[in-house]
């Protein structure tokens, strides 16, 4: 199965969090949003 993780856009609603980085690289609980998305997608494909 293929997975698509939408990560486009400026992230303007995230305010200062995206002033110096794309929204996919914003830290949440010590890891980037994309890292969380990749891990979740990986878990879903292996179960």
Rg (CA), the chain: 12
Averaged over 1-27, what is the pLDDT?
87
Tokens 């199965």 correspond to what residue? 1
pLDDT of residue 44: 85
Quick check: 47 pLDDT over 60?
A: no
Q: Which of 39, 38, 36 is nearest to 27 (CA)?
A: 36
Quick check: 30 pLDDT over 60?
A: yes
Q: SS in 3 state form for the chain?
A: CCCCCCCCCCCHHHHHHHCCCCHHHCEECCEEHHHHHHHHHHHHHHC
Q: Is the model's pTM score more than 0.85?
A: no
pLDDT of residue 1: 67
């Amino acid at each position: 199965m293929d997975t698509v993780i939408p990560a486009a856009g400026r992230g303007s609603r995230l305010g200062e969090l995206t002033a110096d980085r794309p929204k996919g690289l914003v830290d949440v609980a010590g890891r980037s949003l994309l890292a969380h998305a990749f891990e979740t997608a990986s878990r879903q494909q292996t179960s």
